Amino acid sequence: MSRPALVVVGSLNMDFVCQVPALPPPGATVLGSDFRMIPGGKGANQACAAGRLGDTGLSTRMIGCVGYDLFADHLKASLSGAGVDISAIRATKSAATGIAMIWVEPGGQNSIVVAPGANAALGPRDVPSWRSTVTGAQWVLFQLETPLPAVQAGLKLALESGCRTMLDPAPAQPLSADLLRSVSILTPNESEACLLLGRNGGRVRLADAPELTAALRAMGAQAVTLKLGDAGCFYDDGTLKHHQPAFPVKAVDATAAGDTFNAAFAVALTEGKPVPEALRFANAAAAISVTRPGAQASIPTRAETNRFLSAV
Ligand code: RIB
């Protein structure tokens, strides 16, 4: 296969998804419905989205770790079906493939518990072997569902190899300035941005976005795209500061919307689109994904996204 334009380093999970009338509070039992197993994992979702959204000629490869089990076979088949090169996904005998338990309430909000399993076996010792995979790639995408030392070493390797790096700081955890200095574009949502800055979470107003992104850039990230849910997103690289409104849609399930956004943004940047156009494309792909249930099951193709954009 030719050199991949995009590489995704991250998690692969089988998602156990259940619809609930309301997210259960601690100690409560609620009756759910519509149980399904759907391929997921923040890393695999991004790879799947890049595979479906990339125009012909743009190749995507995934780096990750699974167990020797049926879930691994399903997850790899889902990625292959999206056109992703899975040759850099390794298997370990020491753990089962990762899983996630997901409850989704009407309106699309969810709660997720991840048991990382084999994803946790990805360590800094793996990273030198990634050099040949990332060399020549334009973008390498990371999230935080794999161990932080591997993410940190992977980010450094990608930069040294001449790639640009995108980090989705999810699930949120504090990050060092040293790690953030290896990030070309950081893509937190509101609560992740607040956690990284050591501030109390809560609703971030669009008017607060420039101050938040400037503070995150001061911590080391070269550029920041703050995801603001139905308020869209705000991009800041120190020169360009740009708000891109979201497309209003009827949400049924927000799972993987952020993953779809990141992959679509990277795909559009790889194709040379200017940042505002790339953000519009990413918002469109993410908007389609929230109108459908599940993680990889909800991610649109390039043709669907183009049709959506020409209809709005
Ligand atoms: O971002 C959504 C993903 O988070 C799900 O697919 C689940 O696997 C968890 O990793």
Q: Model confidence over 223-264: pLDDT tens digits?
A: 999 999 999 999 999 999 999 999 999 999 999 999 999 999
Q: Tell whether the model's pLDDT for residue 205 goes beyond 60.
A: yes
Q: Model confidence over 14-49: pLDDT tens digits?
A: 999 999 999 999 999 999 999 999 999 999 999 999
CA distances from 308 to 47, 176, 182 (A): 21, 39, 34
Determine the pLDDT at residue 279.
98
d(CA 276, CA 278): 5
Residue for token pair 């979201």: 246
Q: Model's pTM, two decimal places? A: 0.97
Determine the pLDDT at residue 2.
57
Determine the pLDDT at residue 226.
98
Say how many Å lie between the CA of residue 102 and the centre of ligand 1. Answer: 8
d(CA 23, CA 172): 20
Work out which ligand 1 atom sits closest to the CA atom of 11: 10
Q: What percent of the chain has pLDDT over 70?
A: 98
Work out which ligand 1 atom sits closest to the CA atom of 15: 8
32 close to 53: Cβ distance less than 8 angstroms: no
Q: Tell whether the model's pLDDT for residue 3 goes beyond 60.
A: no
Q: Which of 298, 305, 218 is nearest to 258 (CA)?
A: 298
CA distances from 122 to 48, 76, 144, 148, 155 (A): 20, 17, 12, 10, 14
Work out which ligand 1 atom sits closest to the CA atom of 44: 6
Q: Average pLDDT in the 43-59 region?
A: 93
* Mean per-residue pLDDT of the chain: 96
Q: Is 178 a catalytic residue?
A: no
CA distances from 68 to 127, 140, 143, 302 (A): 21, 26, 23, 32
118 close to 75: Cβ distance less than 8 angstroms: no
Q: Tell whether the model's pLDDT for residue 71 goes beyond 90.
A: yes
- Mutating to test ligand 1, I would choose from 71, 102, 289 the residue with most ligand atoms within 8 A of its C-beta, which is 102
Q: Tell whether the model's pLDDT for residue 59 goes beyond 70.
A: yes
Say how many Å lie between the CA of residue 300 and the centre of ligand 1. Answer: 16
Q: Model confidence over 99-154: pLDDT tens digits?
A: 999 999 999 989 999 999 999 999 999 999 999 999 999 999 999 999 999 999 99
CATH topology of domain 5-23+33-311: UDP-N-acetylmuramoyl-L-alanine:D-glutamate ligase (3.40.1190)
Strands 233-236 and 241-244, sheet pairing: antiparallel
For atom 7 of ligand 1, the residue with the nearest CA is: 41
Determine the pLDDT at residue 1.
46
Determine the pLDDT at residue 203.
75
